[in-house]
Structure 1
Amino acid sequence: MENIPHIPVLYREVVNTFDDIKEGIIIDCTMGYGGHSSLILENNPNIKLVAIDQDQTAIDFSSKRLKPFGERVEIRKGRFSNVIKDILREYNPQDIKGVLADIGVSSLQLDQKDRGFSYESENLDMRMDKDAPLSASNVINEYSQNDLEIILREYGEIKNYKKLASVIMQNRPFHSAKELSQKLNPFLPKGKKIHPATLLMQAIRIEVNDELGELKNLLGALEEAKLPHAKIGIISFHSLEDRIVKQTFARWAKSCICPSEAMRCTCGNNHQLGKILTKKPVTAQDDELKTNARSRSAKLRVFQMEL
């Protein structure tokens, strides 16, 4: 695995986002296989990087990849929504100058068939942390029909969610993602750009790893910490994540938080945490789109804390 080349999405845009940070600490909440982390360390030679990941395979890989940077790198294992709280308590808020989160499954996790993320996998797992108690097998084979409908509707945004949930109930147990996608294929929405099972797998993966909850908890921890100078960059891959980031950044940028129907301001008009640096999400350039299919859906939003 050490020889696998891995180019992270929006690599130039991430480097440019943090390019003006000359010292202090940058937190990479989703280290993965060290792509963004290594680029940031190379481009910002005087910063320290604290990296987080819950996948031990990724940690083992990136520990070797980032070893040349020596004591400038600190790696923590766990869910970033929990570990970030420890980091924010341990370090002086003044020293934290940047936070990056690349939300979603990594391309190398997708490529590892035994992890169960791919619709071609002979496994039914999808856990980013292999030690986590909930797997895709639990979701598909044990959840009620109503719970399956909610997941497919809310996380997959699939219109015929009732039919899919019914087919799952009638044909379980399922033993692999491949078996699941093949059985449901006749009922899955057909699109020109993505495989029919993509939204199905997305919905299950989000449930297994509580991805939306993780994102909300991360943003909540950063808001509570009130970092005075930190630049926050979040990369999302589907509309549910992007909507959460967009709405949170918009709220952070508001000085007045009075209800819209209020006749006059009574909140003090001093609640602004900073400013949005990306009026529209930053997307991949043409050359990256041609070489990295995953970058097609990647969106980067950036917020500058000013407290």
Structure 2
Amino acid sequence: MQNIPHVPVLYTQVLETFSDIKEGIIIDCTMGYGGHSSMILEANPHVKVIGIDQDQSAIDFSTSRLEPYKDRVEIKKGRFSCVIKDILKEHDKREIKGILADIGVSSLQLDQKERGFSFSSENLDMRMDKDAPLSAATVINEYSNKELQRILLEYGELRNYKKIASFIVDNRPFSSAKELSEAIKHLMPTGKKIHPATLLMQAIRIEVNDELGELNSLLDTIEEARFSNTKIAIISFHSLEDRIVKNRFSKWRENCICPKEAMRCTCSNDYSYGKILTKKPLTAEDEELRANSRSRSAKLRVFETDIQLER
């Protein structure tokens, strides 16, 4: 029997979000170990799931894990920002009733130390797709001081980004995540319940995998598709991602798209894409927090589209 390594974050909240979907397709943009997909398939017996992942290890694992549901599962390899466009070419968008995205590094990738995501990893990789050309080693050992400053400020929101960038440049090359996180520890923020190098590693990982670009591209595709009665559920793990989702959902909710400085409304005032179902993001409850520390920073926001499609 396959060893199931973990329970996905916010699983009860995700199941509740999609509980009223009786048929159609739910797209799991970040399939990982297949945890959310398997639970959705079990709870919604007439729903089909299309799972996406760029990591072949995840594809192999989930293909086996989801074997009992093989008649209702389709698995695609690639970046979700691209693959979802292919799905829309293959399926009538009326069939798409739910879209789930669990943004960021997966438990599968964190658990495999050779992937370089862990602070104790003996290498410096961080690629979600092992065939991708850009790795953390390239970023740390080859980026200019100015380029390092950019990612440390934009993706790590580190106040002393200039000092950290200079330290990296002056002391490289670094060969492992462990070596880097230990060397830089004295320059990192203290007093939080996280590893001192967390924000540094976050910034590098986002750069390597273009995570914010992927998220924005996914939201652009959803916006352009103009789905009808589709639930969009996005789990984020840090403020940069959550801010993007929150702002985009707020935009989708608005009827009027006139500039704020306009004296009066000159648009048709009917541009709303739907409604926000989560006034505040859903977070892990005490029981889940005790069982899975990784759920501590997870936030789930849900939007439901509500437009009329011509038939």
TM category, shorter: over 0.9
Report the equivalent of 2:57.
57
Q: What's the offset of the Cα at 1:70?
A: 1.7
2:305 is aligned to: 305
**After the TM superposition, which parts of structure 1 deviate over 3 Å for at least 4 consecutive aligned residues?**
none
Taking the aligned partners of 1:188 and 1:4, their CA distance within structure 2 comes to 35
Q: What residue in structure 1 maps to residue 130 of structure 2?
A: 130
Question: Structure 2: how far apart are the matches of 1:80 and 1:120?
Answer: 29
1:1-307 alignment, distance < 5 Å: 2-307=2-307
Q: Using the alignment, how far apart are the partners of 1:245 and 1:214 within structure 2?
A: 12
Distance 1:46 1:191 in 2: 49
Gapped runs of 5+ residues in structure 2? none
**Separation in structure 1 between the aligned mates of residue 222 and residue 132 of structure 2, nearest angstrom:** 25
**Matches of 2:90 and 2:220 in 1, distance apart?**
17
SS at match of 2:97: strand
Shift of 1:15: 0.2
Provide the rounded CA distance (Å) in 2 between the counterparts of 1:168 and 1:4.
38
Equivalent residues of 2:58, 2:108 under 8 A apart: no
Q: Secondary structure at the match of 2:75?
A: strand
* 3-state SS in 2 of match to 1:76: strand
Q: Secondary structure at the match of 2:153?
A: helix
TM value normalised by structure 1: 0.99
Q: Which has the higher mean CA deviation after the structures are superposed, 178-187 or 46-55? A: 178-187
The separation in 2 between residues aligned to 1:261 and 1:186, in whole angstroms, is 47
Aligned-residue identity in percent: 71
CA-to-aligned-CA distance 1:263-306 (integer Å, 9 cap, x gap): 11111111100000001000001110111111110000000001
Q: How far off is 1:171 after superposition? A: 0.8
Q: Following the alignment from structure 1 to structure 2, what is the Cα–Cα distance between the partners of residues 188 and 242?
A: 23
TM-score by length of 2: 0.97
Question: Equivalents in 2 of 1:4, 1:231: separation in Å?
Answer: 28
Amino acid at match of 1:114: E
Aligned length: 307
Per-residue Cα deviation, 1:89-148 (whole angstroms, up to 9, x for no partner): 211111110000000111221121100001110010000000000000010011010110
User: Displacement, 1:39?
Assistant: 0.4
Q: Helix, strand or coil for the counterpart of 1:303?
A: strand
Deviation at 1:185, TM superposition (A): 1.0
Cα distance, 1:4 vs structure 2: 3.9
Q: CA deviation at 1:186?
A: 1.1
Shift of 1:192: 3.1
The aligned amino acid for 1:300 is L
CA deviations 1:192-228 (Å, max 9, x no partner) are 3101011111000000000000000000001111111
The root-mean-square deviation of aligned C-alpha atoms, in Å, is 1.0
Compared CA separation, residues 108 and 18, structure 1 to 2 (3 A): same
**Alpha-carbon deviation of 1:163?**
0.8
Q: Which amino acid aligns with 2:273?
A: L
- What SS does the corresponding residue of 1:232 show, helix, strand or coil? strand
Alignment-mate amino acid for residue 125 of structure 1? D
Q: Displacement of 1:243 after TM fit?
A: 0.3
SS in 2 for 1:201: helix
Structure 2 CA distance for aligned equivalents of residues 101 and 251 of structure 1: 19
Q: Secondary structure at the residue paired with 2:82?
A: helix
Q: Which amino acid aligns with 2:295?
A: S
What is the alpha-carbon distance in structure 2 between the residues aligned to residue 106 and residue 243 of structure 1? Answer: 20
2:85 aligned counterpart, secondary structure? helix
Question: Counterparts of 2:199 and 2:226 in 1: how far apart (Å)?
Answer: 36
The separation in 1 between residues aligned to 2:139 and 2:281, in whole angstroms, is 33
**Residue type of the partner of 1:293?**
S
Deviations along 1:141-188, one digit per CA (max 9) or x if unpaired, are 110101101101110111111111001000111110111111111111
